[in-house]
Structure 1
Amino acid sequence: MLTKIISIFRQFPLFNKGLRSIKRLFPLICAISFATVLLLHNLTPATAQVSQVPATEIRGVWMTNNDFEILSDRAKLQETIGQLRSLNFNTIYPLVWNDGYTKYPSAVAQRAGIPFYFKGKEGQDIIADIVAQARRQGVLAIPWFEFGFMAPLTSELASNHPDWLTQKQDGTQTSISAAGEVAWLNPFHPEVQKFITDLVLEIITQYDADGIQFDDHMSLPVDFGYDKYTINLYTQETGSPPPPNPHAQAWKQWRTDKITAFMFQLNRAVKAKKPNAIFSVSPNYYDFAYKYQLQDWLTWVRLGAVDELIVQLYRNDLDSFNSKLTSPELIETKQIIPTGVGIMAGLRNRPVSIQQIQSQVRAAQQQGLGVTFFYYESLWDYGQEPAAQRQAGFQEVFANPAVRDRLQFTARKPTFNTISVPLYAKGSVGQRSRGYFMELAIAGGQPKRVLLDTGSAGLRVPKEFLGNAPINKTGQIIKEVLSDGTVLEGELVYATMQIGLISTDEPVPVQIVTSRQCLPQKPNCSAKSGTPFSGIIGVNYSEKSLPYNPLRKLPGNLSNGLIITSSSNKASLILGLTANNQNAFKMVSLSPQPAINDIPGNRWDSLLNGVCVTISGTSLKNTCNAKMVVDSGSNSGFTEVKSAALMGKLKPGRLRPENALKVGIPGVFDYSVTPGNRDGINVWNLNVSAKAENPVLVNSGMGFFDKYDVLLDPVNGQQGFRSRT
């Protein structure tokens, strides 16, 4: 009966990697990685930036439990690698972790109570022998962490750590896969995270291998995650328990993002130990992996966390096979990193002809893709054709050598063209009546919500927001005066800044605020209340001095501009301008400003020219020589005039409802507000300042953002507006 069940599951994408070992007919369980505290739902991928990278065609083969007779025999292994090399293969993926056991002597596994059985015939370390022989013969050896998150339910790993198990909503702890009945460990538990990470780093440091590979088991079936630990964690972070529907978008995305965050951190840990290690991933095709396995490998690629991708495409039908080769995800990925597809070379009870193999290899090559075969023993031992004929067939499709060099695999930068970052209504500490707050991690600290301010430039935070990462202190004490009269004082330092999982290219200048006070002429500023300082990230591009807008130091296209938008009561900051996300914006040119040393990019006057202002009950009647700043850092709006004569009989102070106000640029925006006190956003003040630089200056305040999306383009010196009505 079990044989029939497995044969049925082989027909489906999730299970068609084949029966990898007779031992896997027993129940299994998976050990899955804990996601880090940096939640990737803070980053919504859109179109990715791509750049052509020269890469040698991948010609690989997985070496499985079924190949153990060869792997454990030094002489046979030498002959095998030599034969593959003569047929112009260039990569092998030897198994190092499956069925809950390591294929090498592991101190990490021993501490977890896992015994070791897999020595070579001469007592040798099998993995050390494979790596050494592959290196001598010019073939890359990338250990294959096959069972990533799975292990037999009856294994010592599962028995010794029952608190690591996760489950379905009904309490079921197992599912059926090609490997039989398997259970899954909690992917969000810190002890699981540490165990998996320690195993991977042990492989990376214990052997001079060329990298590490993870496959479709570095995931979690969508039905899982209803264990007590995960329910509590999700409830704590979101305020609600997980919904009963495992496909509910927010619940699914939360789990997917946790796994993505884990993979990102795992990649960084590997690169810290061995910068040139190839971090390879072999998942299912994207739509299936994302929907049913919570495996968002395209985001992994875009984050720079994957050096090599091999998508499993086990298909007998050539048309079905070909249709997956031109998926948008593969087209994008192959322009960034070496990319290939996994091809089924046959199983013991299901041979694959050499003609089918050749057709699929040629189809992949025509699309600029490499190939890797599952698995070695089936290359020429399971076919209907003689071994010599099959070997000649491989020689035909791999006619010329293709030598791979691991030295090209250095740490990569993210390749997002644009990302969407959620904005929040409240900060991490001192609260305001209204504001947009975004989460930042500074100097390796925990993410904190700081005020997003389009009316100023520079990152300014209390010292409590800093993590333990090194910072460069300058000893320079600086002051910043905000529009409401608050004076911020503190030292200028340089520190790393991270938004979600994306960091600035280098440390950015940060003001560590240690003192706040009000200007004498504005005694009711925000510092008066004594509430803790929530931090400010000023994203204006008209810097007068350090610190400058830190978004200038985001990698690639993400530094070329931003959009503040809102829909369905959910605000977002879009980083990285593209042709698509600039659609329907009406643009206004800004005036260029002189360059300042140490401030990258172009500087622009943030004040809009030719703004028309009308205030009922004043002499300001469609006056179109005003200037305006669009300021998300100010709760209320204000109009400042240089001469009291412009106000007629109206006195300075808060405007009343009868003083209806209109501000606009013809053909761009037409904003009107009835002064009042609705949530503080339609409060409007009228000020007189003989020292004002402009006859009329308007600060639109937060209320403007309720009606318009706002775009800042520092490359071309433009500000854009898009009405939401």
Structure 2
Amino acid sequence: MKRLFPVLFALSFTTVLLLQNLTPATAQISPSPRQEIRGVWLTNNDFDILRNRAKVQDTLTQLRRLNFNTIYPVVWNDGYTKYPSAVTQRMGIPYFFRGTEGQDVIADIISQARSQGLLAIPWFEFGFMAPLTSELASQHPDWLTQKQDGTQTSISAAGEVAWLNPFHPEVQQFITDLVVEIITKYNADGIQFDDHMSLPVDFGYDKYTINLYRQETGNPPPPNPQAQAWIKWRADKITAFMVQLNQAVKARKPNAIFAVSPNYYDFAYKLQLQDWLNWVRLGVVDELVVQVYRNDLQSFNSKLITPEILETQQLIPTGIGIMTGLRNRQVSMSQIQSQVRAAQERGLGAVFFYYESLWDYAPEPVAQRQAAFQQLFPNPARRDTSQITARKPSFNTISVPLYTKGSVGQRERGYFLEVAVAGGQPRRVLMDTGSGGLRVPREFLGNAPINRTGQIVREVLNDGTILEGELVYTSMRMGLIATEEPVPVQIVTSRQCVAQKPNCSARGNTPFSGIIGVNYAERSLPYNPLRKLPGNLSNGFIIAGDRTSGNSSLILGLTAQNRGGFNLASLTQQPAMNSIPGNRWDSRLNGVCLTISGSAMKNTCNAKMLADTGVISSFIDFKSASLMGKLKPGRLSPNNTLKLSIPRILDYSLAPGNRNGFNVWNLNVSPQLDQAMVVNSGIALFDRYNVLFDPVNGQEGFRLRS
């Protein structure tokens, strides 16, 4: 059942931005005309009509005559399918809903709708809900979640119901199997989920979820079910499942409409853990119909102009769910007309709950009601699904957390980015601005397709570690954002130290945490995988390191807003390479002035500098010992105060420290250099500055943190 009663209270609007390690900061709006939704739900109450072929024909003919264009027949209700399901049959769940001639009711409705030119989008009404007494709940008590006091049910518009655990992999597989079965069995125009593809905020205190939360966070769930972090964690898990469900649907039918009909956003997120705005932004939703069931027109109108509605209708067909009546509560046609017109004036479609109350259970005569609907929809508005394709995320920019420790291995300092490779579990790999390409051990891979090349690649890191392994192409995902296509990845199977640096990270068989090199100066494969993020997210990034608070982040996608306050220096463009997409830039900044107290080096401005998160201790390489003056190779002492500057760009001074990663500076002689001096700032620079990398315009920027 849909939510039948108006909400009698309002909650302040808060756009919840965090999801599965992502923070959408700005949505990308691209205005374009949208097909108007004119629909109606066909519910359990309408089943006497749905089971009769002749009545179905009359119903659909009438809807078409009145210029409706979409029907939403219920297919999942009370723990039972409304069609003969092989999935539930294997579980021993009975099927009760044959037509009067023994026909498959859903097959008949979809077939007749197509002949009338109507879209038929099956409605997966109950979502994660099921009666506690149903065969489904009885057979799988471990699939149910519960409140903190052990209660397994809640009171809804459909009565007392239990809730399947949306975080349990077996529940997710069951729901996925049903949805894919519907799309496959009927070649359906799409599938619609409503406010029950969610979980009431009081639930989630079952053993499975408690253990999962403790495993991922190190803490038990908060006793307050409305604690912000606990809400976010559960909402993010549901979001992740909806992404997977969308992928399963699109794999079977790319132009299927993945539709959602939730409550208004603030209510949906805070009380139902349904973060549908982020579903839209992630490109998961193809059609949105927000339920606004209320009698007062002013209250109704207030829900049509919220920021999330305005944003969504610029991206996908958007409509409003309008109550046309219940058997025990009729709604006047004048109220329906005023609400439909209010929606139409704002470019929104309308879907009515439910068919029987359009004119059969109504205070006005049938002919009068039908004439009024004809006035609301005087002209046809056909909907075409042939042009529907997989949507891309609509983010202009997102913020991804950076962690201080990797999934494996030990390191004194570093920024670690959580990525999933080839569909594997998310792993925290070292983010390195001094190299390019994703390099991971074999155990980080999942079961997604991998295109092997047979090519063995070799990479030597700054600390002297040699990485060897095969180059493959596969998917990479950060949180819920994936690369647009497979990217090259080195599967590291061998690590050793160069002879000159026997104390490299490979010493002692320390586990390899993986590296994601985000430099744009690649000379060979693999290349920086950030190049293949969708849309604006691939146009550069900002590292906002904050060692003091631990709230470091990687901001993907440069915008005019987040570029503000940066002093920008130009990089030198490198020749294009066929195997590497986009522009290549020498990431070493020119004209860096170097001063070291206690030496003859006073504002010497012929150095190059690399801002490198992959190096724990900073260093300066000299082409010859003569350039060092009285300085000797080795570690600078705290008395050798050091200053790095680029006029009008950077002014960085410090006293060298004695702890790795905290301003330790080493001097080296490197005859192979192509410059007199090359400075590697190491990770300590990022404690003081936010650093911007722009591969489109060839710029690197610095902004001093307060």
Identity of aligned residues (%): 75
In 2, Cα distance between the equivalents of 1:582 and 1:224? 42
In 2, Cα distance between the equivalents of 1:188 and 1:572? 27
In 2, Cα distance between the equivalents of 1:318 and 1:229? 44
Give a deviation string over 1:606-633, Cα, whole Å, max 9, x none. Answer: 1112222221212222222321110000
1:693 aligns with 2:674: yes
In 2, Cα distance between the equivalents of 1:402 and 1:9? 28
In 1, Cα distance between the equivalents of 2:604 and 2:508? 36
- Amino acid aligned to 2:673: A
In 2, Cα distance between the equivalents of 1:173 and 1:514? 49
Deviation at 1:53, TM superposition (A): 4.7
Select the residue among 540, 562, 581 that pairs with 2:519: 540
In 1, Cα distance between the equivalents of 2:8 and 2:243? 26
Partner of 2:247: 268
Secondary structure, counterpart of 1:46 in structure 2: strand
Specify every segment of 5 or more residues in structure 1 that has no aligned partner in the other structure, as ranges.
Answer: 1-5, 16-38
Superposition TM-score, scaled by structure 1 size: 0.92
Deviation at 1:211, TM superposition (A): 1.2
1:680 aligns with 2:661: yes
1:273-672 alignment, distance < 5 Å: 273-567=252-546, 568-672=549-653
- Asked if structure 2 preserves the Cα contact closer than 8 Å seen for 1:619 and 1:646, the reply is no
1:45 aligns with 2:24: yes
Give a deviation string over 1:134-181, Cα, whole Å, max 9, x none. Answer: 011111111111111112222222222222221111222222222222
**Number of aligned positions between the proteins:** 696
Partner of 1:12: 7
- Amino acid aligned to 2:392: K
Deviation at 1:9, TM superposition (A): 8.3
Partner of 1:237: 216
- Amino acid aligned to 2:293: Y
In 2, Cα distance between the equivalents of 1:163 and 1:96? 24
Superposition TM-score, scaled by structure 2 size: 0.95
In 2, Cα distance between the equivalents of 1:547 and 1:14? 55
- Asked if structure 1 preserves the Cα contact closer than 8 Å seen for 2:692 and 2:702, the reply is yes
Partner of 1:169: 148
In 2, Cα distance between the equivalents of 1:468 and 1:189? 19
Worse-matched range after superposition: 485-494 or 294-303: 485-494
Partner of 1:19: none
1:104-253 alignment, distance < 5 Å: 104-253=83-232
- Asked if structure 1 preserves the Cα contact closer than 8 Å seen for 2:183 and 2:249, the reply is yes
In 2, Cα distance between the equivalents of 1:712 and 1:668? 14
Secondary structure, counterpart of 2:568 in structure 1: strand
Give a deviation string over 1:402-446, Cα, whole Å, max 9, x none. Answer: 111222222222222122222122222222111111122222222
In 2, Cα distance between the equivalents of 1:576 and 1:524? 37
Give a deviation string over 1:158-211, Cα, whole Å, max 9, x none. Answer: 222222221111222222222222222222112211221122122122223211
- Asked if structure 1 preserves the Cα contact closer than 8 Å seen for 2:616 and 2:660, the reply is no
- Asked if structure 1 preserves the Cα contact closer than 8 Å seen for 2:5 and 2:293, the reply is no
Q: CA RMSD in A?
A: 2.0
- Asked if structure 2 preserves the Cα contact closer than 8 Å seen for 1:618 and 1:646, the reply is no
Give a deviation string over 1:49-80, Cα, whole Å, max 9, x none. Answer: 23345432110000111111111111111000
- Asked if structure 2 preserves the Cα contact closer than 8 Å seen for 1:267 and 1:305, the reply is yes
Deviation at 1:692, TM superposition (A): 2.1
- Asked if structure 1 preserves the Cα contact closer than 8 Å seen for 2:661 and 2:682, the reply is no
Q: Which runs of 4+ in 1 moved over 6 A?
A: none
Secondary structure, counterpart of 1:361 in structure 2: helix
Select the residue among 53, 61, 71 that pairs with 1:92: 71
Deviation at 1:695, TM superposition (A): 1.9
Secondary structure, counterpart of 2:590 in structure 1: strand
Partner of 1:721: 702
Worse-matched range after superposition: 259-268 or 317-326: 317-326
- Asked if structure 2 preserves the Cα contact closer than 8 Å seen for 1:104 and 1:126, the reply is yes
Partner of 2:55: 76
- Asked if structure 2 preserves the Cα contact closer than 8 Å seen for 1:613 and 1:626, the reply is yes
Give a deviation string over 1:585-619, Cα, whole Å, max 9, x none. Answer: 22222222221112111111211122222212122
Compared CA separation, residues 13 and 418, structure 1 to 2 (3 A): farther
- Amino acid aligned to 1:219: S
Secondary structure, counterpart of 1:430 in structure 2: coil
Deviation at 1:260, TM superposition (A): 0.5
Specify every segment of 5 or more residues in structure 2 that has no aligned partner in the other structure, as ranges.
Answer: 11-17
Secondary structure, counterpart of 1:257 in structure 2: helix
In 1, Cα distance between the equivalents of 2:462 and 2:567? 26
Secondary structure, counterpart of 1:407 in structure 2: coil
In 1, Cα distance between the equivalents of 2:183 and 2:672? 66
- Asked if structure 1 preserves the Cα contact closer than 8 Å seen for 2:573 and 2:584, the reply is yes
Worse-matched range after superposition: 508-517 or 92-101: 508-517
Deviation at 1:129, TM superposition (A): 0.9
In 2, Cα distance between the equivalents of 1:665 and 1:62? 65
Secondary structure, counterpart of 1:523 in structure 2: coil
In 2, Cα distance between the equivalents of 1:108 and 1:547? 43
- Amino acid aligned to 1:531: T
- Asked if structure 2 preserves the Cα contact closer than 8 Å seen for 1:9 and 1:177, the reply is no
- Amino acid aligned to 1:488: L
In 2, Cα distance between the equivalents of 1:688 and 1:717? 29
